[in-house]
Amino acid sequence: MFGFSLPKLLVLAGLIFAVWQGFKYLQRRQSVQDQNRHEKVREARRETQGTADPVEDMVRCKVCDSFVAGTGAKSCGRTNCPYPG
């Protein structure tokens, strides 16, 4: 009943081979899906890369002690504000 015979060993080897090939197929499929996802992210980054607002340094106002944009800052409304209003 539990004896080893050539047909049983061949069926076992066939099952092991089929399971192994199935795992290889699933891993390959997952790899392709990951590559597609990464490519979509790269394309989205390329599309939005030029549309972002430029970065500006902030400077501290000597009068009101708040931070304002380094270029194009507007007056805070105080009489001795260094920025034109």
Q: What is the tens place of the pLDDT at every residue in 5-64?
A: 999 999 999 999 999 999 999 999 999 999 999 999 998 888 877 666 778 888 888 878
Q: Give 3-state DSSP helix, strand, coil % of the chain, rounded to 5.
A: 50, 5, 40
Q: Which residues contact 68 (CB under 8 A, 6 or more apart)?
A: 58, 59, 61, 74, 76, 83
The model's pTM is: 0.47
Question: Distance between alpha carbon 81 and the CA centroid of its chain, in Å?
Answer: 43
Query: In 3D, which of 64, 58, 60, 59 has the Cα closest to residue 76?
Result: 64
